Structure 1
């Protein structure tokens, strides 16, 4: 096995888990109607290496909502099993993006059932529940904004304005199914909704600790540490200034525009190159009912 295949296996196993190849084959090879197809923006964004940057940015941004962060801090076990949490998240994204309607709906039912059991009290005394439509909307908005901005900067192909709006609308379908409250359906609505959440976002000890864990002490083997550091720097570089101060993250405009951006581009390009290794994780042929046509919904 060559360097490319070894790198692909290391990255894919970390993100998707030991059963990742089998799950990938099942998701892509399953016959049945799909909401989205290969020509849809959501396929292009969620299948691109820029998602590594977008995922880190989303976690940092989401941590700023004290109720959402309390739920993660008290229930997710991200410190003890961060890769397990990442693998469950990546699996849900894969099933709802690339899977059949049946697969997507099953994934949504499972997550909704889990959310129904997650509730408690935040350190500030307020109750929270993971199935709260308002909190679900925040999590969705932070993810959609992060994934889209990371793709704008580091994606293999830049989306047109119309494709960016379509991407937001397509992600809103999944968010609505999860119970989010009227998620935005275009980029302007996404920007406005993110701005509307700002008064609720604050610095908390849990958020600062999560940022340190994500950026400084992640359970990453030394062979991948340099690449992960580059991805983390790229993610911080995409955060707005107002989101950095509460997390005590620096704003270095010149460095971010040069060194961070170059490092992020190199890291995502390397991951993209590795994951395209044809002999490692062969892409299953799309089924006859996948993508556009009578089986397509939405």
Structure 2
């Protein structure tokens, strides 16, 4: 890594740097939306203040840009992005720490759970590091890092504590309808029906059991969901990484230009921190179940609250 370059908030030796480069994170982001909608107060704030129904793809890209900036941007860019978010939260009156914590934890859990179930070989220690790293993200949206879960055990305990306050009320149903069939231009309707609805359904299926109970729409057996997730993730991974990373806003490629090509993310490295060495290019296209012995078991294996 270039010694004079700014590694950003996390840097190439972080779990975040490796994990967020994988295309399965898009499915994880949709799962987070399904989960976040189950907090009645939080989702009410979204319904009142958000433009997600009028500009769904713009909202999605702005969120992706924010996550990408925090993950791969310079420290200055990440701090500036956080300041903008905090300012917007204050102006809209949605800076309640309880609500911000729910959004943060739902997102962190979704990224981690989907990544592990899709076959990325994270150890329990890696998973704890990831949760701890994202206390930095929590600070940038206005939370006290000391009040944010720092391990998977603390994250699970948080969900246990908040679960009695969750419900699939009218606002959650509105979000669910939107996630199943977001508005698009007529020319894009076929793509929505073929691609988006499948992605959204898979994201829903990966939710914890209590979320399925609240929504009242059971998912297939966990083993079936895991097989579908692994297959979908591997299909996405067939697209060459440098081609995927060229999509806007190109955060990973810009980070590699800044820090050096040896900092290329490798989510299939067996241990973190890794010396930036790449796995066998063919290996990443193999089914993780065979390559890493993923057993498709229950949610406890992935640290996902039931």
Please give the range of the TM-score, normalised by the shorter of the 2 chains: 0.7 to 0.9
Q: Deviations over 1:217-267 (max 9, x none)?
A: 4536423643333322322222122112322322332xx533x44443333
Asked whether the equivalents of residues 234 and 261 of structure 1 are also in contact (C-alpha less than 8 Å), the reply is no
Q: Partners of 1:288 and 1:52 in 2: how far apart?
A: 25
Q: Partners of 2:258 and 2:245 in 1: how far apart?
A: 21
Worse overlay, 213-222 or 51-60: 213-222
1:145 alignment counterpart: 109
> Using a 3 Å threshold, how does the CA distance of structure 1 residues 222 and 266 change in structure 2: closer, same or farther?
farther
1:167 alignment counterpart: 130
Asked whether the equivalents of residues 233 and 264 of structure 1 are also in contact (C-alpha less than 8 Å), the reply is no
**Match runs of 1:123-138 below 5 Å:** 130-138=94-102
- TM-score, with length taken from structure 2: 0.74
Unaligned runs of 5+ in 1: 1-29, 120-129, 293-298
1:9 alignment counterpart: none
Q: Partners of 1:279 and 1:132 in 2: how far apart?
A: 36
2:234 alignment counterpart: 269
Q: Partners of 2:14 and 2:193 in 1: how far apart?
A: 33
Q: Deviations over 1:120-163 (max 9, x none)?
A: xxxxxxxxxx11111110100100011100001115x3111111
Identify the match of residue 236 of structure 1 among 178, 187, 204.
204
> Using a 3 Å threshold, how does the CA distance of structure 1 residues 265 and 221 change in structure 2: closer, same or farther?
farther
- Match of 1:89, SS state, is helix
Q: Tell me by how many angstroms 1:213 deviates.
A: 1.4
Q: Deviations over 1:36-60 (max 9, x none)?
A: 1223111122221121221111101
> Using a 3 Å threshold, how does the CA distance of structure 1 residues 42 and 277 change in structure 2: closer, same or farther?
closer
- TM-score, with length taken from structure 1: 0.76
**2:167 is the counterpart of 1:199:** no
Q: Deviations over 1:34-92 (max 9, x none)?
A: 22122311112222112122111110111111111011111112111111111110011
Asked whether the equivalents of residues 51 and 147 of structure 1 are also in contact (C-alpha less than 8 Å), the reply is yes
> Using a 3 Å threshold, how does the CA distance of structure 1 residues 190 and 112 change in structure 2: closer, same or farther?
same
Q: Tell me by how many angstroms 1:206 deviates.
A: 0.9
- Match of 1:73, SS state, is helix
The list of structure 1 runs, each at least 4 consecutive aligned residues, that deviate by more than 4 angstroms after superposition, is: 277-280, 288-292
**Match runs of 1:1-298 below 5 Å:** 31-119=5-93, 130-155=94-119, 157-181=120-144, 182-217=147-182, 219=184, 221-223=189-191, 225-253=193-221, 257-258=223-224, 260-274=225-239, 276-278=241-243, 281=246, 283-284=253-254, 285-288=256-259
1:24 alignment counterpart: none
Root mean square deviation, CA, Å:
2.5
Q: Partners of 2:183 and 2:15 in 1: how far apart?
A: 31
Unaligned runs of 5+ in 2: 264-272, 274-306
> Using a 3 Å threshold, how does the CA distance of structure 1 residues 196 and 135 change in structure 2: closer, same or farther?
same
- Match of 2:239, SS state, is helix
Asked whether the equivalents of residues 129 and 151 of structure 2 are also in contact (C-alpha less than 8 Å), the reply is yes
